[in-house]
Structure 1
Amino acid sequence: MILPVILAGGTGTRLWPLSRGNYPKQFLALHGDLTMLQQTISRLDGFVHKPAMLICNEEHRFIAAEQIRQLNVEHSGIFLEPVGRNTAPAIALAAFKAVEQGEDPLLLVLAADHVIEDQAAFQQSINNATSLAEQGKLVTFGIVGDKPETGYGYIKRGVQIDNSTAYVVDCFVEKPNIETAKEYMGSGEYYWNSGMFMFKASRYLDELKAHRPDIYDACKKAISVQSNDMDFIRVDKAAFEACPEDSIDYAVMEKTKDAVVIPMDAGWNDVGGFSALWEVSNKDKNGNALFGDVKAVDTKNTLVFGDKKLIATVGVEDLVIINTKDAVLVAHKDKSQEVKQIVNQLKAEERSEVTFHREVYRPWGKYDVVDQASRFKVKRVTVKPGARLSVQMHHHRAEHWIVVSGTAKVQIDDTEQYVTENESFYIPINAVHALENPGKVDLELIEVQSGSYLGEDDIVRFEDRYGRLEG
């Protein structure tokens, strides 16, 4: 049986300001109505497999769980990495968990942030890999490229394996310069490295133990102490933090004698930057990919993303224009990979825009900071049906809440009341309070904070159903 293992732990910044540290690209809908994570799960539809296992960062757990819930599909658990340690340790956790349950499934390792246009071709490549993986081979999928590409690593194929579409892996090579990439494409012997794999759980652990026993031992120790919290699986934090960081390519695939590559021609793209996003997007007759409320005059080969604001372009070409609620990016399409330099500047200045959107998602819903100054902050708050914020207090701020739609159940110290549309309530400094949506529809509020300090860390939690209590 195949167990899909979806790696969703990335915090990439190449698509900033769309992608942020707390809301990276795998959780964004960049190519269609579904997010990239949801597309990764959905392209397994009609394919015989166990419910997928997800591996993500601790801070992304509620976003991941909510996006899976929206698909109304089962899953085999959501592993939470206390810290990022690259792909080799992440896959090891999934493999240990699989064999721990008395099974030895084929792990189908997928990234949560890739675009694959041809689902049938993707699934056929998986079918082609199954028998080889059952025989103990470690299969990787090589993308049949359509142009010389300097942004990807490559896999060189060796001899073809009898009665199969697979080849022995001759070697893995790093990202080439353009001249070398042209040579690779002309030879017909090289594929783009997709970062997708299939192998038995036990075979991966055997190879990891042989070539990187330090990673094997650290992950085995980490998973020996597990705790389950709703959908989430946590491992021993100290043990996993002590684990060396390495990719599956370096740790296992480049060292094993059983690596094979299966070509995949399925319209694959890792959307590693805005040029790649432009390539996979639908375009108008002038080559423009336009999202949102956009008016383009004498504009060509340009990518525009608007967020609830009119964007107008006149006489421009080959640009990337990204507008979010709190940031605007304008770049030449050929220079879009250099967005990371902007991100590095923002990090050095400790700017919040690196990590947070103006709209912030929480396990109970979301909030949007509409306006703020030194002694006040205005938020639009949405609470999902049945959700409840933690029982908490603030040392430095008072809050006024106005219900716009829905019904709120409010606790302030020892009193409890229901507040409906066009009604409001006041929470003094140091008052212990909680907010709940007892209804069947979203609860919408306007929250006005006032005080000497308005940071999100001025929250003392006493009860929380989402596991966010300190200590």
Structure 2
Amino acid sequence: MIYPVVMAGGTGSRLWPMSRELYPKQFLSLVGEKTLLQETLKRLNGIGTASPVLICNEDHRFLAAEQLRQIGLLDHNIILEPVGRNTAPAIALAAQTALESDADALLLVLAADHAIADAEAFRAAVRQAEPFAEAGELVTFGIVPTHAETGYGYIRRGEAVDTLFKVAQFVEKPNIVTANDYVASGGYYWNSGMFLFRADRYLEELKAYRPDIFDACQTAMKTTQSDLDFIRVDAVAFEQCPSESVDYAVMEKTSRALVIPLDAGWNDVGSWSALWELGEKDEYGNVCEGDVIHYKTENTYVLAENALVTTVGVKDLVIVQTKDAVLVADIHQVQDVKRIVSELKSQGREECRLHREVYRPWGKYDSIDNGKRYQVKRITVKPGEKLSVQMHHHRAEHWVVVSGTANVTINDKTQMLTENQSIYISVGSVHALENPGKIPLELIEVQSGPYLGEDDVVRFDDRYGRC
């Protein structure tokens, strides 16, 4: 049985301001109606796989769980990394998890943030690679290059093995002259970072070439804990694990590496120019998402999240408008967007970490206004969900119900509020908010006080394990 292993890490720097540290691109709907993560899992339909194993970090756990729930694939199948240690250790955790259910498990290792236009070609490649993986080979998917690309690593193919090829060499990102030579030769593929191999075979190779990583992951998996839909590994043991990619740890060293050519419209969605390339263009080469009006504009990508964006007499630009930030960049220099993110971090600005609209396991909130000693939020609580029982040292809150039903507890008193009703929570009051209804609860929260930071909260009870 094939066990999909989806790597869902990321820092959210290359597609800022849509992608952010606490909401990276794999959780965004950038190419279709579904998010990149959901599209990754959706294209597995027809292969006949087991439930996927998702690997992500603590900060993204509820986002990942909600997106799996939306497509019916949430099944206690999210492994939480205490710290990021790159792909080799992450795959080792997944391999050990899969072997607990199936001694013959095959791992199909995928990134959560790639786009593939031809899903059937991808599925056909997986089926073609499957017997080789079952026989103990470590198969990687090499992307047939469409142009000379300096942003990807390459795989040089060796002699043919039936319909696949031995891997002759993994090559680092080349300069443009070398990349042109690679493409012209016809013997090189882009390194996609996707693999198919037996779980036990991978662990054998890891133990042979990187016993330090193998031992650390074995120790980390000896004392796992179940937490809602998450699997937590031993944090102390995993923190001792070296950080290494699967390429360096195993694939470049093993004698069993094979590459299968994949020509399926693959794109790693690594920049705004990539989204321009993927998008549906008008007669002037423009790609527009949202409320956009162009005049004398060419080869420009515009994404308008919640406001009208207009352009006049420009070309070769990327313009991205979100609720709290605007990016304007030359379409040929979008790789440098990460420098803006670095500057935001150095200034301690929250725009690199959070959107104005923030998702929580119980729903979401949108910080619609703020000033000295006050902040206004629009809060949405999903049906049946409840915020933690909590208290604030520095702020009072006033809640006004816009729609739905709120069950509000303040100290020892509980009452029901409906549309247009309001309530006041004084500083230091222990309180909780719950939606007992069948429709989303919408309310406006006005905070006031000398300090309004999100860390001014003491949790006494929380169904999501955040106490």
Give the TM-score normalised by structure 2: 0.99
Q: Is the 8 A contact 1:52 1:76 kept in 2?
A: no
Paired residues of 2:363 and 2:382 also in contact (CA < 8 A): yes
Please say if 1:135 is aligned against 2:135: yes
Contact 1:156–1:189 under 8 Å retained in 2: yes
The percent of aligned pairs where both chains have the same amino acid is: 63
Q: Does 1:397 align with 2:395?
A: yes
The more displaced of 199-208 and 102-111 is 102-111
The aligned counterpart of 2:97 is: 97
1:209 corresponds in structure 2 to: 207
2:52–2:73 CA contact under 8 A, matched in 1: no
Report what 2:22 is aligned to.
Answer: 22
* Equivalent of residue 186 in structure 1, options 174, 184, 189: 184
Q: Which residue of 1 aligns with 2:113?
A: 113
Q: Is contact 1:400-1:449 (8 Å) kept?
A: yes
CA offsets 1:168-222 (integer angstroms, 9 cap, x no match): 0000000001100000000000000000000000000000001111111111111
State the one-letter code of the partner of 1:160: A
What SS does the aligned partner of 1:149 have? coil
Quote the Cα distance in structure 1 between the aligned partners of 2:279 and 2:322.
19
Could you tell me which residue of structure 2 aligns to residue 338 of structure 1?
Answer: 336
- State the AA in 1 paired with 2:73: V
What is residue 148 of structure 1 aligned with on the other side? Answer: 148
Counterpart for residue 321 of structure 1: 319
Give 1:217's aligned amino acid.
Answer: D
What pairs up with 1:68-467 in 2 under 5 angstroms? Answer: 68-75=68-75, 77-162=77-162, 165-467=163-465
Counting matched residue pairs gives: 467
Deviation for aligned residue 1:104: 2.6
1:307 CA displacement:
1.1
Query: Is the Cα contact below 8 Å between 2:403 and 2:419 reproduced in 1?
Result: yes
- Cα deviations across residues 313-343 of structure 1 (Å, max 9, x unaligned)? 0001000001111110000000000001111
What letter is aligned with 1:256? Answer: T
Q: SS of the counterpart of 1:60?
A: helix
Contact in 1 for aligned 2:76/2:230 (Cα 8 Å) = no
Post-superposition shift, 1:74? 5.0
Distance, in Å, in 2 between the alignment partners of 1:46 and 1:26 is: 22
Structure 1 match to 2:33: 33
Q: Is the 8 A contact 1:208 1:251 kept in 2?
A: yes
Alignment RMSD: 0.8
**TM-superposed deviation, 1:73:** 3.0
Query: SS in structure 2 opposite 1:418?
Result: strand
8 Å CA contact 2:74–2:229 kept in 1: the answer is no
Distance 1:388 1:344, change over 3 A: same
**Equivalent residue of 2:332, what SS?**
helix
Q: Tell me the secondary structure at the aligned position of residue 334 of structure 1.
A: coil
Contact 1:87–1:248 (CA under 8 A) maintained in structure 2:
yes
| Structure-2 change in CA distance of 1:138 and 1:76 (3 Å) | farther
Q: CA deviation at 1:97?
A: 1.0
Q: Spell out, residue by residue over 1:209-263, the C-alpha distance to the aligned partner (whole angstroms, 9 max, x if none).
A: 0111111111111111100011100001111111110000000000001000000
SS in 2 for 1:379: strand
8 Å Cα contact 2:76/2:231 also seen in 1: no
Rounded to whole Å, the distance in 1 between the matches of 2:155 and 2:240 is 31
Measure the CA separation in 2 of the matches of 1:341 and 1:11.
13
SS at match of 2:108: strand
Letter in 1 for 2:173: K
The alpha-carbon deviation at position 285 of structure 1 amounts to 1.2
Secondary structure of the structure 2 residue equivalent to 1:239: helix
d(CA) in 2 for partners of 1:96 and 1:46? 25
Question: Is 1:53–1:75's contact at 8 Å kept on the other side of the alignment?
Answer: no
SS in 1 for 2:179: helix
Specify the alignment match of 2:52 in structure 1.
52
Write the distance in 2 (CA, Å) between the matches of 1:253 and 1:175: 17
Q: What are the Cα deviations for residues 120-142 of structure 1, in whole angstroms up to 9, with x where unaligned?
A: 10000001110100110000000
CA distance in 1: counterparts of 2:150 and 2:109, whole angstroms: 24
Q: Which runs of 5+ in 1 are unaligned?
A: none
CA offsets, 1:295-317, max 9 Å, x none?
01111110001011000000010
Tell which deviates more after alignment, 125-134 or 6-15: 6-15
- Match of 2:394, as an amino acid? H
Structure 2 Cα separation of the partners of residues 132 and 74 of structure 1: 30
Task: Indicate conservation of the 8 Å contact 2:209/2:253, yes or no.
Answer: yes
Distance 2:248 2:175 in 1: 21
Alpha-carbon distance in 2 for matches of 1:462, 1:453: 21
**1:65-94 CA distances to partner (integer Å, 9 max, x unpaired)?**
111111123546100111111100100000
> What secondary structure is seen at the aligned counterpart in 1 of 2:427?
coil
